[in-house]
Amino acid sequence: MATNTITAPAVLSIPQWTPVPETQYDLDWADLVTLDLSKFDTLGGKEVLAQQLSDAVNRIGFFYITHFGLTQEQVDRQFSLCKQVFDLPETEKIRYRADLENGGYNGYKPAGLRELKPGIKDNTEIYNIPKFTPEYARDHPAVIREHWDEIERFARHVHFEIVRKLLVLFALVLKLPEDHFLNIHRYPENSDCHFRYMKYHRRTAQQNADLDNVWAKGHTDFGSLTLLFRQPVAALQVRTPEGQWKYVKPYPESITVNIADALQFLTNGFLKSSIHRVVAPPPDQADLDRYGVLYFVRPEDDTELVPLDNSPVLKRLGYDQTLDSATVGLTAGEWVKARVARNVSRVGKEEESIIKGVKARYYD
Ligand SMILES: O=C(O)CCC(=O)C(=O)O
Ligand SMILES: [Fe+2]
């Protein structure tokens, strides 16, 4: 009789990332709803979560989730890998450069492509890993290839266990069939969903002063949702409907989620694509590089970005009309690629025409 041997996946050794301490500064934190995703599979739990979500989303478009089925250790491993990737020599990283100029962004984005203010470049490195399907196969640095299975398991968990639940909750908020958004976010189909490692290099006090402390101008994200794994350097701010900037607190064992453009287009503005920015960290974190692990959710490429006409909620509230016909004929794939391409070497403009007359705004 054959013996079944269960072998634990090899955990290849890499230097461990230790989260930095949180700031001691009492910052002006945003008051955001927290969804406990462990309720999702309990009797009546989805409905409770959907109610919590509807209270949150048409105001600010940012919320937290907890109990999402990944341990802190698994999350920290991704931060360790993130650091390993950016510790590689520039000559190695640049071999995997993304085709940003043509709206492609999978692979490496070096720091310094964009001028934030005359003479001051951005300080952000990015490494984007697309869906783990044959269509998106590409070469990666050895440290990623050697940990491929672990990264894939992590990213697929995010998509199938976390994003799936969130997309069901959004359908419930709009009183649509539960699978409405799942049907336009199918994993095997082509879409620009991707997993991201990110590093903001620390800046000098002089550079921060020259930048008025703004590292990434206020913007909206391009797809459906963005998930940010908790990282302790306080720098992310969300803009309230009243136009104030509030810090997003990095709560332990939480993920910060924000709504992005595609969901705003699909709901004719009922779901708000949240405006957020990244600023210089407080003085007790000023000497730290800021690492990030994120997952960007985007609709399938051929999804037309027209307002839904079958949501009783949108109907009741008058959001079912094509009040703004600007996005008619625009697909999610076109929108994302156009925004990426326009973003590469953007200089500090307030408003920018992206594609087919649809504009994006940037905020100080
Ligand atoms: O680094 C962050 O906290 C936010 C990043 C962000 O807004 C983005 O990459 O679109
Ligand atoms: Fe963003």
Cβ-count burial 265-283 (b if 16+ within 10 Å, e if not)? bbbbebbbbbbbbbbbbbe
**Mapping DSSP to helix (H, G, I), strand (E, B) and coil, where does residue 245 land?**
strand
C-alpha of residue 42 to centroid of ligand 2, in Å: 32
Residue 11 has a pLDDT of: 66
Check if the beta carbon of residue 22 is closer than 8 Å to that of residue 50.
Answer: no
On the CB side of 362, CA atoms within 13 Å amount to 19
C-alpha to C-alpha distance for 74 and 136, rounded to whole angstroms: 24
Our answer on whether the CB atom of 300 is closer than 6 Å to any ligand 1 atom is no
In the chain the domains, ranked by start, together with CATH numbers, are 33-361 (2.60.120.330)
Which of these, 340, 42, 358, lies nearest to 194 by C-alpha position?
340
C-alpha of residue 181 to centroid of ligand 1, in Å: 24
Looking at the predicted structure, is the pLDDT value of residue 138 above 50? yes
Looking at the predicted structure, is the pLDDT value of residue 353 above 70? no
What are residue 198's DSSP bridge partners?
Answer: 126, 292
Q: What mean pLDDT is predicted for residues 135-156?
A: 97
Model-wide pTM > 0.90: yes
Q: How far is CA 243 from CA 211, 279, 283, in A?
A: 20, 16, 25
Check if the beta carbon of residue 155 is closer than 8 Å to that of residue 246.
Answer: no
Question: In sequence order, what are the residues at sequence separation of 6 or more whose Cβ sits closer than 8 angstroms to the Cβ of residue 288?
Answer: 20, 202, 233, 281
Residue 363 has a pLDDT of: 65
Rg (CA), the chain: 20
In this predicted model, what pLDDT tens digit does every residue of 258-311 receive, in sequence order?
Answer: 999 999 999 988 999 999 999 999 999 999 999 999 999 999 999 999 889 899
- Ligand 2 (single-atom ion) residues, CB below 5 Å: 221
C-alpha of residue 221 to centroid of ligand 2, in Å: 5
Check if the beta carbon of residue 255 is closer than 8 Å to that of residue 65.
Answer: yes
Our answer on whether the CB atom of 278 is closer than 6 Å to any ligand 1 atom is yes
C-alpha of residue 6 to centroid of ligand 1, in Å: 39
Residue 7 has a pLDDT of: 53
C-alpha of residue 354 to centroid of ligand 2, in Å: 17
Query: If you ran DSSP here, which 8-state letter would residue 304 be given?
Result: B
Check if the beta carbon of residue 292 is closer than 8 Å to that of residue 197.
Answer: yes
Residue 3 has a pLDDT of: 44
Closest residue by Cα to atom 10, ligand 1, is 221
In this predicted model, what pLDDT tens digit does every residue of 10-52 receive, in sequence order?
Answer: 567 899 988 899 999 999 999 999 999 999 999 999 999 999 9
ipTM summary value:
0.98
Neighbour tally for 134: CB within 10 Å: 7
Neighbour tally for 356: CB within 10 Å: 13
- Which pLDDT band holds residue 324 (cuts at 50, 70, 90)? low
Query: If you ran DSSP here, which 8-state letter would residue 254 be given?
Result: E
On the CB side of 244, CA atoms within 13 Å amount to 8
Check if the beta carbon of residue 96 is closer than 8 Å to that of residue 108.
Answer: yes
C-alpha to C-alpha distance for 59 and 296, rounded to whole angstroms: 21
Which of these, 112, 116, 115, 104, lies nearest to 338 by C-alpha position?
104
Torsion-angle region of 4 (φ positive above 0: left; ψ -120 to 50: alpha; else: beta): beta
C-alpha to C-alpha distance for 346 and 314, rounded to whole angstroms: 35
Phi, psi of 246 (to 5 degrees): -125, 145
Our answer on whether the CB atom of 233 is closer than 6 Å to any ligand 1 atom is no
Atom of ligand 1 nearest to the CA of 226: 10
Looking at the predicted structure, is the pLDDT value of residue 101 above 90? no
Lowest mean pLDDT among 12-16, 43-47, 182-186, 360-364: 360-364
Q: What mean pLDDT is predicted for residues 319-348?
A: 71
- Which pLDDT band holds residue 323 (cuts at 50, 70, 90)? low
* Closest ligand (CA of 124): 1
Q: What percent of the chain has pLDDT over 90?
A: 73
Closest residue by Cα to atom 2, ligand 1, is 236
In this predicted model, what pLDDT tens digit does every residue of 243-268 receive, in sequence order?
Answer: 999 999 999 999 999 999 999 999 98
Q: What mean pLDDT is predicted for residues 317-329?
A: 70
C-alpha of residue 229 to centroid of ligand 2, in Å: 13
Pocket test for ligand 1, best of 123, 278, 296 (most atoms within 8 A of CB): 278
